[in-house]
Amino acid sequence: MPASILGEVVDLSESEVLRDRITRLGCPSCGSAHVAQVLGDNGGISYVCTACGHSWS
């Protein structure tokens, strides 16, 4: 356990960065993080990149 509250804040910010990297979805075509989740034709979930237009499910 850190000796001060500042150590706690540093630990929290590092875990937030890690969680953000894990949950962020990137386009498999161009690598952009500008991805929208859309409802597919058969009710499934699909994704579309708003940067390059690539879509996938």
Q: pLDDT tens digits for 37-51? A: 998 778 899 999 999
29 versus 4: which is more confidently predicted? 29
Phi, psi of 53 (to 5 degrees): 90, 0
Give residue-wise pLDDT tens across range 8-57. 555 555 655 555 555 678 999 999 999 999 987 788 999 999 999 999 98
Q: For residue 43, what pLDDT is reported?
A: 83
For residue 7, pLDDT over 60 is answered with: no
Specify whether the CB–CB gap between 36 and 27 falls below 8 A.
Answer: no
Per DSSP, 33 falls in state S
